[in-house]
Structure 1
Amino acid sequence: MSNFGDLESLASSITAVTSPFRNYLTDLHEKYRSFAEGTVANYIPELALANPNWFGICVVTKEGQIFEVGDCEQLFTIQSISKAFVFGLALEDHGRDYVNSKVSVEPTGEAFNAIVLDETTNRPYNPMVNAGAIATADLIKGQNSTERLKRVLAMFQRYTGREHDLNVPVFLSEKATGHRNRAMAYLMLNFGMVSEKIDETLDLYFQQCSILVNAKDLAMLAATLANNGVNPVTQERAIDERYVQDVISVMLTCGMYDASGEWCYRVGMPAKSGVGGGITAVVPNQLGIGTFSPLLDGKGNSIRGIKVCEELSRDFGLHLFNAAKPEKDLAEWIAGGDGLNDW
């Protein structure tokens, strides 16, 4: 299997031509680098340690070109971004009908940690809120907790092309303070939405949120979905092509917490955010975007990340429903260089 190490060695001898698109991203980074609105998440002490000046932008095309600016190697915990991809793994494990019998796909105006289920079906509303993500984690197959975690980590490796570690202090902090999530799990157990292995499933949920990633990883996650589930660099399949549409559909309608409607209206890309400061955004059949900045708005979304995605969407016509000619032709801007010197 190919990996980033092999490809990085290959690419190190290649000098890429300066790309207008890279220059565009550099200007965009400079425009918002000093933007200081928002606050760093502090409900977990480890998250509060993030430097508010960290800021990275990475774009990966479906052809495997990588463009990065800023703090794209800085590690942080993936948090809620993990929910979209674990949902995909659950679909592979059980199929669409069974997963949907446990987790709905309806947007909700409630906060992501609301203790609320659908009054008719008793299902959590969607896989992107905490209750739905816990129910999704419960569906991941494995003989024991170790095997289930290994399967989740292996899944992320297929998407990003590299191995991932956990931030153990974050995991332990989330486990120690996760009483609200325990309440959700037991409520769902009452209605038969999750199995009785509550502690094991909650541990897996806290662990998946504690996986360490960087902005480049987030761009690769999105680019893999944009490339019909195949990692554009390693060429390894990360998710069955049948379920790519499920994952990105729910990302579009539910991926940005209770600001998902505004995001869909203004940006129009399937995306998922996390309180660690990351956003991963998919432009189907074209590219993936990963941004990292820990300064969050009141909804829990990265403010710099939103602004970057808004400008990319507007300037290059990346909104899914855009019908107007974009200000800039993306193919022409990227064609000036191949991005290999960013590996």
Structure 2
Amino acid sequence: MKEALTGTQLQAVLNQALAYTDKGKVAAYIPELAKEDPGQLGVSVCFPDGTMLSAGNVDVRFTLQSISKIFSLIIALCQNGQKHVFERVGKEPTGDPFNSIIKLETIKSHKPLNPMINAGAIAVAGMIQGENIDDRLNRVLDMLRKMTGNPAICVNEAVYCSEKSTADRNRALAWFLKDSGILTTDVEETLDLYFRYCSIEVSVKDIAHMGMVLAADGIDVQTGERFFPEEVARICKTFMVTCGMYNASGEFAIDVGIPAKSGVAGGIMACVPHRMGIGVFGPSLDEKGNSVAGIKLLALLSKEWKLGIF
């Protein structure tokens, strides 16, 4: 399949999608993210043999934001098992915004609907085990460094501080979870961990590598090293399809048709099972928090290269 996909084709698709960078706005509610140039767009595609095709702003560093929710979930599942995790976080999509609090109050169990919304991800952060915050954070960082082959991956301290200082809604979610017995760890420590791994800085090449590991069911095809069990990869890819693009996940599944997870810094990590991992960056967001040009680029790629899994 790789022979059919060329850098020239990828550049042509990116050029078409560039016209959509002015259709949205950067995430101004986090001051550091508001500084991004909305006209940026980059894409990398990683194949099982390690080949990488890239076009656009591929060397720009940006933070994972909600893409990190996949990897905190992986750690939590590996440490605690499915039963423990899903007693505290549900498996259902939501039609509400990613930072909504309404379902927590109106659902009788007060359990977050899924791990891809903020409430669910905060609950998951409370399940990551370690001696202290640094140790718990390093569980995520170490895995990402190994998956990407990039030992320089780290937290962007400016974005972390910016998130922490503007996170009143997330604090409200966390304290509600604490009051409901869903979150049993210290609220401020759990939030601090959550802010830190949302602020991990990457490039599209990095998230294309991450996507390829998910596409290969948790292994590095090149080395044969397994990072997490196949069943954990299956669960995460299912969440990516049903919940990965916030409350636009159903539309994305129909229009693009591949597992994907977005973040409000403009990143999208996508994968086509056993075929490729894709990283996209475009900081101009739609009203639901997804990269406008990034979604258009993935839709064009999916149509041209017949990537849809359905």
TM-score class, shorter: over 0.9
Q: Which amino acid aligns with 2:217?
A: N
Partner of 2:12: 27
Partner of 1:167: 156
Maintained 8 Å contact 1:158/1:231? no
Partner of 1:152: 140
Is 2:186 the partner of 1:197? Answer: yes
Q: Which amino acid aligns with 1:122?
A: H
Partner Cα separation in structure 2 for residue 87 and residue 255 of structure 1: 13
Is 2:113 the partner of 1:128? Answer: no
Partner of 1:78: 64
Number of positions where the alignment pairs a residue of Structure 1 with one of Structure 2: 305
1:36-69 residue CA offsets vs partner (Å, 9 max, x unmatched): 2111111111101111222111101122211111
Counterparts of 1:39-188 in structure 2, within 5 Å, are 39-115=25-101, 116-117=103-104, 119-163=107-151, 164-188=153-177
Structure 1 residue 233 displacement after superposition: 4.6
- Compared with structure 1, are the counterparts of its residues 286 and 19 closer, same or farther at alpha carbon in structure 2 (3 Å cutoff)? closer
Larger Rg: 1
Maintained 8 Å contact 1:41/1:47? yes
Partner Cα separation in structure 2 for residue 183 and residue 193 of structure 1: 14
Partner Cα separation in structure 1 for residue 155 and residue 51 of structure 2: 28
Which aligned runs of 4 or more in structure 1 are off by greater than 3 angstroms? Answer: 232-236
Partner Cα separation in structure 1 for residue 232 and residue 53 of structure 2: 27
Q: Secondary structure at the match of 1:296?
A: coil
Maintained 8 Å contact 1:159/1:231? yes
128-137 or 117-126, which moves further after superposition? 117-126
Q: Secondary structure at the match of 1:298?
A: coil
Maintained 8 Å contact 2:112/2:119? yes
Is 2:226 the partner of 1:237? Answer: yes
Partner Cα separation in structure 1 for residue 40 and residue 225 of structure 2: 31
RMSD: 1.6
Partner Cα separation in structure 2 for residue 205 and residue 260 of structure 1: 23
Is 2:264 the partner of 1:275? Answer: yes
> How many percent identity over aligned positions?
44
Q: Secondary structure at the match of 1:153?
A: helix
Partner Cα separation in structure 2 for residue 87 and residue 158 of structure 1: 17
TM-score (norm 1): 0.86
1:100-135 residue CA offsets vs partner (Å, 9 max, x unmatched): 001101000011001132613221010110000000
Q: Which amino acid aligns with 1:63?
A: D
Partner Cα separation in structure 2 for residue 232 and residue 114 of structure 1: 38
Q: Secondary structure at the match of 2:271?
A: strand
TM-score (norm 2): 0.94
Q: Which runs of 5+ in 1 are unaligned?
A: 1-17, 322-343
Q: Which amino acid aligns with 1:205?
A: Y
Partner Cα separation in structure 1 for residue 167 and residue 301 of structure 2: 36
Partner of 1:331: none
- Compared with structure 1, are the counterparts of its residues 20 and 174 closer, same or farther at alpha carbon in structure 2 (3 Å cutoff)? closer
Partner Cα separation in structure 1 for residue 221 and residue 251 of structure 2: 30
Which of 211, 215, 224 is the aligned partner of 1:222? 211
